[in-house]
């Protein structure tokens, strides 16, 4: 994907990845920008206000998004495979048909997000809010999660991601075996010891 020249209401133009990175490092407000189709693969998008930004069909594969406000952003058909999204607000974000294979979400707000038709294969979800989110026709094969309430979603995934920390099938039998061993040990300890009768010195 080629870089595109875009401008916000202040008239500041962004034509390259470097110019966008400079704007982020200067803590510029990039909310509402139209950066659709831009190549941002591998970039670190941290501590930025990008509410309502248009990144549809953009390439954010391997990108790191942290402490960012991207509420209402348009990421339809974007690439976010391998991306890491941490402590960010993506409430109401549009991710229809997006590629998020292997992406990781941790402590994020995805309230009302639209993941319909998105590829969520092998994704990881930790302590993330998915209330009122739409996962209709989303692919979640191999996805795992921890501390995520999927039942609060508007449309839950056809296949809910498996728990990140699952109990092995053999674990209950191991616990029972250990409990039995401890019980046997306690019973043996409680067995009455033979009474010791001293010999009569006169005999």
| Weakest mean pLDDT among 22-26, 131-135, 147-151 | 22-26
The fold of 1-166 is: Pectate Lyase C-like (2.160.20)
pLDDT interval class at 192 (50, 70, 90): low
- How does pLDDT run across 8-29, given as a tens digit for each residue? 454 557 777 888 888 888 888 9
pLDDT interval class at 189 (50, 70, 90): confident
Residue 203 pLDDT more than 90? no
pLDDT interval class at 3 (50, 70, 90): very low
- Compute the distance between CA of residue 64 and CA of residue 135 in angstroms, rounded to an integer: 23
- How does pLDDT run across 109-132, given as a tens digit for each residue? 999 999 999 999 999 999 999 999
Burial class (CB in 10 A: 0-12, 13-18, 19+), 45: buried
Domain ranges of the chain: 1-166
- Compute the distance between CA of residue 177 and CA of residue 61 in angstroms, rounded to an integer: 48
CA dihedral defined by 78, 83, 84, 88, rounded to 10 degrees? -10
- Spatial contact of 139 and 161, defined as CB atoms under 8 Å apart: no
- Spatial contact of 109 and 125, defined as CB atoms under 8 Å apart: no
The CA-CA-CA angle for residues 103, 104, 105, to 5°, reads: 125
- Spatial contact of 38 and 57, defined as CB atoms under 8 Å apart: no
Tokens 């970039």 correspond to 43
């Amino acid at each position: 994907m080629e870089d595109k020249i875009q401008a916000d209401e202040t008239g500041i133009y962004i034509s390259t990845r470097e110019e966008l990175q400079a704007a982020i490092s200067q803590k510029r407000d990039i909310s509402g920008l139209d950066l659709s189709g831009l190549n941002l693969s591998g970039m670190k998008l941290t501590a930025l206000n990008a509410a309502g930004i248009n990144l549809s069909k953009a390439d954010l594969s391997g990108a790191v998004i942290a402490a960012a406000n991207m509420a209402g952003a348009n990421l339809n058909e974007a690439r976010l495979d391998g991306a890491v999204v941490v402590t960010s607000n993506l409430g109401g974000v549009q991710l229809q048909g997006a590629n998020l294979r292997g992406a990781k979400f941790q402590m994020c707000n995805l309230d009302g997000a639209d993941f319909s038709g998105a590829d969520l294969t092998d994704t990881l979800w930790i302590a993330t809010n998915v209330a009122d989110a739409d996962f209709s026709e989303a692919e979640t094969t191999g996805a795992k999660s921890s501390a995520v309430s999927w039942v609060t979603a508007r449309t839950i995934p056809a296949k809910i991601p498996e728990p990140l920390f699952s109990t092995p099938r053999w674990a209950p039998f191991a616990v029972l075996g250990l409990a039995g061993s401890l019980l046997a040990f306690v019973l043996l300890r409680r067995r009455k010891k033979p009474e010791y009768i001293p010999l009569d010195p006169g005999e």
